[in-house]
Structure 1
Amino acid sequence: MDLSVVIVNYGTFELTKNTINSILEYSYPFSVEIIVVDNASPDDSLSKLRQYFNDKVKFIASKTNRGFAAGNNQALKIVDSKYILLLNSDTIVWENTLADIYNYMENNPDVGACGCQVLLEDNSLDKACKRSFPNVKNSFFRLFHIPTKSKDDNYNLNDLDDDGIYEIDCLTGAFIFTRKKVLDDIGLLDETFFMYGEDIDLCYRIKDANWKIIYYGKDKITHFKGASSTKQKPKLIYEFYRAMYIYYKKHHAHESNFLTNLVVYLGIVVLCVLKLFLNIFKKKN
C-alpha cells in the first residue's frame, strides 16, 4: 500500500462519514487505504459507519477511550504503507490535495512530514497549520497579543504567505502527511497526551531527527472546528492545559532554571483555572 489514511472517530458519524467520502470521491495514481479507529464511541456511530462503507474502509474498535494519540497508534502499529496521513474526523479533503502532497513527498526525500492549508468553516486560515514551536518567549507574546517583528517570537508565522511552500516547525494534528520510515525512526505518538499536544510533540521529534517539515499552502482541507463562543467540556479544557505542561516539561524544562520553570507551571495552572471559570458563562452548544 502507498498511503494509509488514519482517522479516529468518537461519536461523530456524520462528520466522519463526510471526511471519508471527501477522500473516496476522487481517484489517485497510487493505492490508498482508509483506517478508522473508533475510540469506544458512546453511540452507534461505529456500526453506522461499518454499514455505510462496508468493505471500503478498515475499522478498529477500541474497548476504551485512551485518547487521540492512543487511538491513532492502534492503526499505526499495523500499517505497512510508504506514507501515512493522520487526518481529523471533522475535515473535508479538497481535490488534488492528497495527490499533490504525495508527489511532493516523492520528489523531496529529506521531508519527513508535510501539511497543507487548513481552512475553518468560515474560510479563514486555521493558524495552527503553520507555526513555530511554542516556548516561553513566543507564548508570552501570543498570550498578551504583543506584536513582534522577530521571527523567533512569531508563533503563528503571520508574515509568511498562506499560499506558499516552505519549511516550518509544526503542523496541526488535523492533517499530518508523513513517512512510515519517519515513525519507524522516532516512534509513534506519545500517549501521555490525551487529546492535545501530541501533534507538536510529534513534529518536535521529527525535526530533532533531522527531517524537514513542510507547509504546502497550495492545497487545502476544511476543518470544522468547534466555535470558540460555545461552552467546552471541562475535561477538554483541562487536557488542553495539561498538554502544555507535558510538552514543556518534556522538551524545555531542562533548558531553564528552577524559578523559570515554576513560573511557567504556575502560569499554566492559572490559565487553566481562568479558562474553566470563563467557560461557565459561555452559551451551550
Structure 2
Amino acid sequence: MDLSVVIVNYGTFELTKNTINSILDYSYPFSIEIIVVDNASVDDSLSKLKEYFKDKVKFIASKSNNGFAAGNNQALKIVDSKYILLLNSDTIVWQNTLEDIYNFMENNPDVGACGCQVLLEDNTIDKACKRSFPNVKNSFFRLFHIPTKSKDDNYNLDDLDDNGIYEIDCLTGAFIFTRKKVLDGIGLLDETFFMYGEDIDLCYRIKKAGWKIIYYGKDKITHFKGASSKKQRPKLIYEFYRAMYIYYMKHHSHESNFLVNIIVYFGIFLLCIIKLFLNIFKKKN
C-alpha cells in the first residue's frame, strides 16, 4: 500500500462519514487505504460507519478510550504502507490535496512530514497548521498578544504567506502526512498525551531526527474545529493544559533553571483554573 489514512472516531458518525467521503470522492494514481479507529464510542457510530462503508474502509474497535494518541497508534502498529496520513474525523479533504502532497513527498526525500493549509468553517486559516515550537518566550508573547517581528518569537508565523510552501517547526494533528520509515525511526505518538500536544511532540521528534517539516499551502482541507459548542467540557480544558505541562517537562525543562520551571508550571496551572472558571459562564450553542 502506498498511503494509509488513519482516522480516529469517537461518537461522530456524520463528521467521520463526511471526512471519509471527501477522500473516496476522488481517484488516485497510487494505492490508498482508510483505517478508522473507534475509540470506544458510547453511541452506535461505529456500527453505522461499518454499515455505510462496508468493505471500503478498515475498522479497529478499541475496548477503551485511552486518548487520541493511543487511538492512532492502534492503526500505526499494523500499517505497512510507504506513507501515513493522520487525519482528524472532523475534516473535509479538498480535491488534489492528497495527490499533490504525495507527489511532493516523492520528490523531496529529505522531508519527514508535510501539512497543508487548514481552513476553519468560516474560511479563515487555522493558525495551528503552521507554527513554531512553543517555548517560554514565544508563549509569553502569544499569551499577552505582544506583536513581534522576530520569527523566533512568532509562534503562529502570521507573517508567512498562507499559500506558500516552506519549512516550519510544527503542523496540526488534524493533517500530518508522514513516512512510515520516519515513525519506524522515532517511534509512534506519545500516549502520555491524552488529547492535544501529541502533534507538537511528534513534530519535535521528527525534526530532532534530522527530517524537514514542510507547510504546503497550495492545497487545503477544511477543519470543523470546535463547531459543536462554544462551551468546552472541563475534561478537554484540563487535557489542553496538561499537554502543555507534559510537553514542556519532556523537551524544555532541562534547558531552564529550577525557578523558571516553577514559574512555568504555576503559570500553566493558573491558566487552566482561569479557563475552567470562565467556561462555566459560556453558553452552549
Provide the TM-score with structure 2 as the length reference: 0.99
1:218 aligns with 2:195: no
Question: 1:269 aligns to what?
Answer: 269
Question: 1:174 aligns to what?
Answer: 174
Q: d(CA) in 2 for partners of 1:85 and 1:152? A: 28
Q: What SS does structure 2 have at the residue aligned with 1:283? A: coil
Provide the TM-score with structure 1 as the length reference: 0.99
1:208 aligns with 2:199: no
Q: d(CA) in 2 for partners of 1:27 and 1:104? A: 18
Where structure 2 has 5 or more consecutive residues not aligned to the other structure, the ranges are none
Q: What SS does structure 1 have at the residue aligned with 2:11? A: coil
Query: Aligned in 2, Cα 1:228/1:148: closer, same or farther, shift over 3 Å?
Result: farther
1:116 aligns with 2:97: no
Question: 1:66 aligns to what?
Answer: 66
Cα offset, 1:121, TM superposition? 0.2
The number of residues matched between the two structures is 285
Identity %: 89
Cα offset, 1:240, TM superposition? 0.2
Question: 1:141 aligns to what?
Answer: 141
Q: Is the 8 A contact 1:121 1:222 kept in 2?
A: yes
Where structure 1 has 5 or more consecutive residues not aligned to the other structure, the ranges are none
Q: d(CA) in 2 for partners of 1:226 and 1:258? A: 36
Q: Is the 8 A contact 1:229 1:282 kept in 2?
A: no
Ranges of 4+ aligned residues in structure 1 off by more than 4 Å? none
Query: What is the one-letter code of the residue matched to 1:142?
Result: R
Query: What is the one-letter code of the residue matched to 1:212?
Result: K
Cα offset, 1:41, TM superposition? 0.2
Cα offset, 1:138, TM superposition? 0.1
Query: Aligned in 2, Cα 1:53/1:227: closer, same or farther, shift over 3 Å?
Result: closer
Q: What SS does structure 2 have at the residue aligned with 1:100? A: helix
Cα offset, 1:284, TM superposition? 1.4
Q: d(CA) in 1 for partners of 2:100 and 2:151? A: 28
Q: CA RMSD in A?
A: 0.8
Q: d(CA) in 1 for partners of 2:227 and 2:26? A: 29
Cα offset, 1:223, TM superposition? 0.1
Question: 1:159 aligns to what?
Answer: 159
Question: 1:81 aligns to what?
Answer: 81
